[in-house]
Amino acid sequence: MYLKLPLLVALLLLLTCVCSVFAQPTTPPMRAGAAGPEKEFKLGDALENLGRLYKSDQNDVLQEWWLLGRYHGQYHWTEASTGEDDSYETRRFRLGSQARLFRKMTLHAQMVSGSDIDPFYNGFTELWAQWAFSPEIALTIGQQKHRFTHDRNVSSRYLNYLERAMLTNMFNIDYTPAITLQGKVQNATYYTGFFTNATGQNMGEAFTDFDSGYSYIAAVYYDMGALFGADALTLYGSYVYSDANENATNMNRFNNGISPALIYTKGHFSVVNEITGGFGSDNGNSVGMNLQPTYFFNHYLQIATRYQLARSTSDEGLQPQRRYERAVQMTPGELYQAAYIGLNYYIAKHRLKVMTGLEYSNMSGDTAWTASTMVRFYFGPHSGGAFPMNQILPLDYD
């Protein structure tokens, strides 16, 4: 039976939150004799601050306090030339808290469960402290996300697809202890930092393990404004260097990586085109393209498409997607192509959405079709920091 206890817990939590919203009036009462239509009720707007426990701009110590978490459940069915596979899984289950203190400091802690919530506690994805000296510079220390490639930078809360691109995942990037700097200078938003190449369930070991090598990442977004008739046009570029060794559990495939991208938004339409290259692997160099056009039919319904093309200098330099393609015994190859089409329904913007998708992939002659349906739910603050996410958020339609 696919509906397991974790899903029931998430659904009960969601039902409680929704009921609390509907228990309150959605529009202010109108004065006698006042005319005009009532404002349309939108669940996404009503749940905008879901998870916020406290907010005060007058308190000099604690300005904001959030509970945060996410539940991502999905069912997939894959039929390939090499086999078949289908299953339901709890893809992500996380709980945590975030507080903003002294008008400059942010503390963030977020635990993660294992696949299908087994085990319930599987360490921390994020455990960090940030001090914002100014809009131009903020220092973050602790376990945090590697933000190499725009594809990776987009939080799983905002993804339009079942999984990130194949070549993005090949970099084997996860959450590890790091020291990073980020900020905005005029039209440029930058990010840079040093990371360890190992992490694990034991936080003490994760923060003191320096025998696995290190990684360095630098990235920048440049806002070009409304050029070429765009509502927004953004250039992105990132670079990673990894000095990994046999003890590394992360960033241990390529020694160097580069990733430029162009992000264009016009009305209901947006497109991301990203090129990623990985160099210095024992299995050759790899380069890939990740093209993502999307279109909103209205405030709630979006069509999301994607085309991937990747090539390696080695006969077995590309790895199939771990969850679905490897499960049907697809093997490594030198040429990969994949095409995805899906419909996303935003019940409450990105806080609650249902997604469906169909993807065809070909790895050096091995083919696979993967159909999927997903539920995505989260509460807590929106992604902050140096990285613009507005180009992937549903547009505010009147």
Distance CA 194, CA 196 (A): 7
Q: Among 38-42, 116-120, 136-140, 167-171, which is the least confidently predicted range?
A: 38-42
Distance CA 274, CA 179 (A): 26
- Side-chain half-sphere of 391: how many Cα atoms within 13 Å? 28
Show the tokens assigned to 54: 């406290």
> Looking at the predicted structure, is the pLDDT value of residue 328 above 80?
yes
* pTM of the model as a whole: 0.86
Residue in 90, 78, 92, 74 with CA at minimum distance from that of residue 324: 78
Residue with tokens 């426990």: 53
Q: Which amino acid is at 319?
A: Q
Residue in 243, 272, 244, 240 with CA at minimum distance from that of residue 256: 240
Which is more confident, 393 or 103?
A: 103
pLDDT for the residue numbered 127: 94
Overall average pLDDT of the 139-145 stretch: 94
> Looking at the predicted structure, is the pLDDT value of residue 13 above 60?
no
**How confident is residue 12, by pLDDT bands cut at 50, 70 and 90?**
very low
Q: Is the Cβ–Cβ distance between 160 and 269 less than 8 Å?
A: no
pLDDT for the residue numbered 396: 52
To the nearest whole percent, how much of the chain has pLDDT over 90? Answer: 67
Distance CA 366, CA 357 (A): 20
CA distances from 393 to 331, 348, 382 (A): 35, 12, 11
**How confident is residue 250, by pLDDT bands cut at 50, 70 and 90?**
confident
> Looking at the predicted structure, is the pLDDT value of residue 366 above 70?
yes
pLDDT for the residue numbered 392: 44
Domains and CATH numbers, the chain: 71-392 (2.40.160.10)
Residue in 182, 80, 85 with CA at minimum distance from that of residue 134: 182
Distance CA 386, CA 397 (A): 26
Which is more confident, 69 or 37?
A: 69
Please list, residue by residue across 155-164, b when 16 or more beta carbons sit within 10 angstroms of its beta carbon and e when fewer do.
bebbbbbbbb
Do strands 232-244 and 213-223 pair parallel, antiparallel, or not at all (unpaired)? antiparallel
CA distances from 237 to 17, 274, 276, 289, 308 (A): 39, 9, 10, 14, 19
* 23-27, 122-126, 304-308, range with greatest mean pLDDT: 304-308
Distance CA 374, CA 160 (A): 11
Residue with tokens 């998870």: 51
pLDDT for the residue numbered 289: 98
Q: Among 7-11, 245-249, 257-261, 280-284, which is the least confidently predicted range?
A: 7-11
In which element (H, E) is residue 379 found?
A: strand 366-379
> Looking at the predicted structure, is the pLDDT value of residue 44 above 70?
yes
Beta bridge partners of 358: 341, 371
Q: Is the Cβ–Cβ distance between 108 and 131 less than 8 Å?
A: no
pLDDT for the residue numbered 174: 87
Q: Is the Cβ–Cβ distance between 335 and 89 less than 8 Å?
A: no
Overall average pLDDT of the 191-207 stretch: 81
Overall average pLDDT of the 116-140 stretch: 93
